[in-house]
Amino acid sequence: MNLCRKHIVFAVSVILFAVACETEPLVVSGPTPLPLEVPLVFEERILPPILPVDNRQTVEGIALGRKLFFDPILSADKTVACASCHSTQNAFTDNTQFSDGINGSFGNRNSMPLFNLAWNYDERFFWDGAANSLEEQAFEPVTNPNEMGNTWSAAVAALQQDMEYPQLFLDAFGEEGIDSLKVVKALSQYERTLVSANSRFDRFLLGELELTEQEQNGLNVFLMETKGDCFHCHGNPNNPLWTDNLFHNNGLDAAFSDLGLGAVTGDPNDNGKFRSPSLRNLAFTAPYMHDGRFATLDEVIDHYSEGLQDSETIDPLMKSVSMGGVRLSQKDKDDLKAFLLSLSDERFTTFP
């Protein structure tokens, strides 16, 4: 046994030495790595973010992604940018039910806020999980006729003819040339930096402030199985993403005009299921739900309290469906709303 250990130690040191001998001097050039900063509230509670090995965060990549995100150059008539529907002051969504894309065309889904995207561990994006990574997602809006209505070849040609972009792509990827893959990689790097973790509730978790009595009561309504019971789908103080990122039917409709996850999987058991949104930043992200049907948080709370619609795929967690829902008192509703608003992160709406 002892002999064996000595063998190992000796062998390992010689191997290390051999490897050291082989290493060429590092070529110091190319983009500068900039690891994603993980906020303390996340670091102490949940798993690290998902970062693809083939698209590392870099200073130059993020800067390029940011420029692309706010630039209408990717759209067919140069009028629509990502930021048109994902604007900073709305926690990177917009304030309309459906979004005004190119030529004033509208889709049938409410735009989604963009934050903490690297913590979507299953990497299923969109309301219905149709995109399997952030990079894959970013391919979609440019050619979507309701969004940017462009072709990739036209978008890439516009970037190539631009005065600045060719150099910025060179800086970000260390090689000449622009293609759609580089565009989506840069956009994704920028999107991963959109981290929101500075709400009142985050500061409460960090021990920096106390909740008001109303917020504390609201948290209880949120957590109690006999009251709101929201936490089985929307996170809890130990999961400050405030979503499970899974798909549920939360009882919006008795019949579905939009099948949601069911259209993606082809499984009728998935009809009417959509991804639970995070409850962060609700103060800035109205209207609510996949089709933006509720203009206010009061309407959302009323829905869960007395507006539930029964259907085959309604989630078992939706209680007292025959009575319309959990029937919260007016005080519980007000407290719940106060708690929900404590999850909003004012500073995020001025994200640089």
Partner 1 sequence: MKKMNFWVIGLFGMLFFGCSEEASQTNAPVPVTLTFNHNWDGESITGDDLNTLKFANANGQLMSVELLRYLISDVTFERADGQSITLDGYHLIDVTRDTGLSFSLPQEVPVENYSNVSFTFGFDNEDNVDGAYLDLNSVSWNVPMMLGGGYHFMQLEGKFIDASDTETGYQYHAIRAVDNAGETQRFQDTFFTVNLGPVDLSQNTTIGIGMNVAEWFKNPNLWDLNVLGSRLMPNFNAQVMIYENGQSVFALDNTP
In sign, the C-alpha dihedral spanning 214, 220, 226, 227 is: positive
Which distant-in-sequence residues (6+ apart) come within 8 Å of 134 by Cβ? 117, 118, 123, 125, 188, 191, 192
> Tokens representing 161?
């003819």
In this structure, the number of other CB atoms found within 10 A of the CB of residue 303 comes to 20
Question: What x/- string results for residues 302 through 321 when contact with ligand HEC is judged by CB under 6 A?
Answer: --x----------x-x----
Closer to partner 1 by CB, 155 or 318: give it. 318
Between CA 112 and CA 276 the distance in angstroms is 11
Residue 72 binding ligand HEC, by CB under 6 A: no
Closer to partner 1 by CB, 87 or 243: give it. 243
Binding site for partner 1 (CB under 8 A): 1, 3-4, 7-8, 10-11, 14-15, 18, 21-22, 45-47, 121, 220, 223-226, 229, 231-233, 235-239, 244, 269, 312-319, 321-322
Report the DSSP beta bridge partners of residue 100.
106
Q: N- to C-terminal Cα distance for the chain?
A: 59
Between CA 118 and CA 311 the distance in angstroms is 33
Residue 155 binding ligand HEC, by CB under 6 A: no
> Tokens representing 280?
């962060």
Residue 62 binding ligand HEC, by CB under 6 A: no
Residue 65 binding ligand HEC, by CB under 6 A: no
- Single-letter amino acid code for the residue at 320: S
Residue 141 binding ligand HEC, by CB under 6 A: yes
The single residue among 111, 193, 342, 344 that binds ligand HEC, judged by CB under 6 A, is 111
Closer to ligand HEC by CB, 206 or 324: give it. 324
Q: Count of H helices and E strands in the chain?
A: 14, 2
Closer to ligand HEC by CB, 22 or 77: give it. 77
Q: How far is the CB of 343 from partner 1 (least distance, A)?
A: 15
Out of partner 1, ligand HEC, none, what residue 218 binds, judged by CB under 5 to 8 A for its kind, is none
The single residue among 42, 63, 109, 261 that binds ligand HEC, judged by CB under 6 A, is 109
